Structure 1
Amino acid sequence: MTVNSELNGLRQAKRPVSGALAGPYGHPFHPILVTVPIGAWVSSLVFDIASRIVHRPAFLTHGSAWLIAIGVLGALAAACVGFLDLFAIPSGTPAFRTGLVHMALNLTVTAAYAAGFLWRQGGGYPEGQGVGYGQLTLSAVSLVVLSLSGYLGGKLAYRYGVRVAEESVQAEGYRTGGHHA
């Protein structure tokens, strides 16, 4: 690959396939949307752990299941715009391969949480019992995998510059003398 084609590929990966669907140049929707599943799933794990500690855990076990469902729905929304961002990256590049692994890990985590949600619906929880250790472990392992995927997402943005504005555009934020917000 020549330097010119590499630069063209980088420029292509910075531009949205569809600004209306994936977010306009310099403002991608994917990083905004991923906060929903991350927040919901971290909170669900906190609820799961707390359900093993408190005297009457029913509100925590039910709340955790709701948070898992919210996270799955949020992950599906984030995946839709993430697919569009992936399509902007030239295939055959390290950035594209990283994007594929990032996507595969996220889909695996989402499937694990969806399965965990169904598992929780199957038996119900007696008033005096917290979330089962198997379900708690599934959530904890899923969060570890999600963290690895998040690392790869950071690599896509901060190392490879996917959907990040050109440095000339970024420089606007460092000009002095003007009042830009």
Structure 2
Amino acid sequence: MVVNSVPRQAKQPVSGLLAGPYGHPFHPILVTVPIGAWVCSLVFDIASQVVHRPGFLAHGSAWLIAIGVLGALAAACVGFLDLFAIPTGTPAFRTGVLHMALNLAVTAAYAADFAWRQSGGYPEREGVGYGQLALSAVSLAALGLSGYLGGKLAYRYGVRVAEESVQAEGYRPIGPAGRTS
């Protein structure tokens, strides 16, 4: 039997200043930067295979990867703080560790991909190499799996999600003059 205070612990921030206040964690908003940058980089990679002068797309893709790596590092810092709030020895903690490990592996893969791209330059008439494109695609697929685990943490285990009694405020009927009943 799970004691009621155990799930409550995972809902509270370790540091509201650093990880976001109760009910408003920073991690979900920060992850949009690497996800968006890395999805766009893959679109640029694919487009570089079909346009006449693909150099600008290859160059842009590399910089989107770099932006994603920087964004992932910022998201990892606050995500790590959220992991500290989860009681150890629980399925939620195990899921959080796997989520973190996948994200670190994906970030390392993209950092290596960026370095690989920097070593080759950006000829105007060459698209992204097939190896680099494959590395980006596999990394993005792993990121999708990690995102699934992050969703499980939030939506199944309620990590950093407000308690139902707090959520209920949003479902009370609004009475006269906009007041809640």
- Tell me how many residue pairs correspond in the alignment: 177
CA deviations 1:130-180 (Å, max 9, x no partner) are: 000000000000000000000000000000000000001001111112547
Match of 1:154 in 2: 151
Give the 5 Å matches for 1:124-139.
124-139=121-136
Q: Deviation above 2 Å: which 4+ runs of structure 1?
A: none
SS at match of 2:42: helix
* CA distance in 2 between partners of 1:125 and 1:132 (Å): 11
Give the 5 Å matches for 1:15-164.
15-164=12-161
Which letter does structure 2 place at the counterpart of 1:136?
A: L
Q: Is the 8 A contact 2:56 2:124 kept in 1?
A: no
CA deviations 1:8-43 (Å, max 9, x no partner) are: 110000000000000000000000000000000000
Which letter does structure 1 place at the counterpart of 2:129?
A: G
Q: CA RMSD in A?
A: 1.0
TM value normalised by structure 1: 0.96
CA deviations 1:104-133 (Å, max 9, x no partner) are: 000000000000000000011221110000
Unmatched 5+ stretches in structure 1: none
* CA distance in 2 between partners of 1:71 and 1:125 (Å): 19
* CA distance in 1 between partners of 2:137 and 2:107 (Å): 13
Shift in Å, 1:3: 3.2
Which letter does structure 2 place at the counterpart of 1:57?
A: P
TM value normalised by structure 2: 0.96
1:168 aligned onto 2:165: yes
